Amino acid sequence: MKRTYLQKNTNTDEQNTCEFHPGENSFNEQPFVPKDIQYVKSFIQMKSYLFIFFFLLGVIMLFSSCQQEENMYVAYGDAIVQSFKSGDSVVYATCYYAYSYEKMKQASVSSTDGSINIPLDSAAFRYTFSYFPDTSDYKTSKPSPQEFFFKVVFDNGIEYEATDSLEQNVMLPPVLTKNQFDTIDIRLNLAWNNVEYAHQYRVVLENEAGEVVFQSDFLSASQPRFSITSSSDGWFTGKIPVRGEKFRPVVLAYQYEKNVSAFDVQSISFAREDYFSWLTKID
């Protein structure tokens, strides 16, 4: 990912980029999937953790230079392909994110082929700007590989440009081979075919209100299976299942670009199954 300064502001009253504001940062406010609000919040949270890690690592390695470059404002861009099955077809669309540790006033994204030139929407605290495609933007053809330019204007007027490239290969959604509730062991057993290009998986359960009530840790690409009991780690507070409650399992796959970092995600795909009833031994 390439970053380029467009303008340098010498206002020494502005904050040092070595400062970090974890209390205000909010990377988990919006979804990638239209009308499926909860699915990728966990992923955005993961990106924020990686963002913090790489930032702190950079502070340690570049502390002295950071002191000398008090007005150095940096932004990061990420174009991410999302795919899922709609009816009998797999559909694709691209989501766009711009991140910074300084508040941004505005951000936009454009493409090398000229087909994309859109403003990004701000999250509450203006450290993240994003664009989520409408349902009509999802197509049966995969997005073409190309480079995207993210232009950012910070609150103090500094302008900055970052780039991110979509690669040729993107994932298909997972295909489940097992989705079975074991009424003897009181356990949901899931298994799916290995997804080509996937680096990690995650399993979530949503209730009939569309809320995510269970979220697994990230699973390795060599683990295309998962089981859930009422005592499994991952249930949200107050969401332990009760008899007869209905849930829908969702399996997500994550693909990273060749140069893996918090800002280099290539694609996310998911499979959403039908609802099932959580039973107990007295059933």
Q: Are residues 7 and 104 in the same domain?
A: yes
43 and 160 co-located in one domain: yes
**Ramachandran region, residue 155 (left: φ > 0; alpha: ψ -120 to 50; beta: rest):** alpha
Query: Last residue of a domain, which of 138, 165, 192?
Result: 165
| Residue in 19, 127, 126, 14 with CA at minimum distance from that of residue 71 | 14
Contact (CB, 8 A) for 129 and 97 = yes
Co-location of 150 and 197 in the same domain: no
Amino acid, single-letter form, for residue 196: E
190 with 266, same domain? yes
140: containing domain: 3-165
Residue 200 shares a structural domain with residue 270: yes
Distance CA 205, CA 192 (A): 16
Q: Is residue 283 part of a domain?
A: no
- Asked if 161 and 183 sit in the same domain, the reply is no
Query: Do 63 and 17 meet the contact criterion of CB atoms below 8 Å apart?
Result: no
- 206 within 8 A of 213, measured Cβ to Cβ: yes
Residues 13, 90 within the same domain: yes
User: Looking at residue 200, which CATH number applies to its domain?
Assistant: 2.60.40.10
CA 212 to chain centre: 15
With respect to residue 246, please indicate whether it lies within any of the assigned structural domains. Answer: yes
Confidence at residue 28, expressed as pLDDT on a 0 to 100 scale: 35
Q: What is the pTM of this model?
A: 0.75
* C-alpha span between 9 and 186 (Å, rounded): 62
User: Running DSSP on this structure, what letter comes out for residue 136?
Assistant: G
125 and 13 fall within a common domain: yes
Instruction: Please tell me the total count of domains within the chain.
Output: 2
Q: Mapping DSSP to helix (H, G, I), strand (E, B) and coil, where does residue 36 land?
A: coil
Which pLDDT score, from 0 to 100, does residue 162 have?
94
Q: Which two tokens stand for residue 75?
A: 């932004």
Phi, psi of 152 (to 5 degrees): -125, 140
Same domain membership, residue 23 and residue 148: yes
Amino acid at 52: I
Same domain, 49 and 141: yes
Per-residue pLDDT of the chain (283 residues; tens, 9 = 90+): 444 434 433 333 333 222 222 223 322 333 333 333 345 444 544 454 444 344 434 443 444 344 434 447 899 999 999 999 988 999 999 999 998 889 999 999 999 999 999 999 988 788 889 998 888 889 999 999 999 999 999 999 999 999 999 999 999 999 999 999 999 999 999 999 999 999 999 999 999 998 999 999 999 999 999 999 999 999 999 999 999 999 999 999 999 988 765 568 899 999 999 999 998 765 5
Residue 170 lies in a domain: no
Same domain? For 182 and 147 the reply is: no
282 part of a folded domain: no
Domain assignment present for 171: no
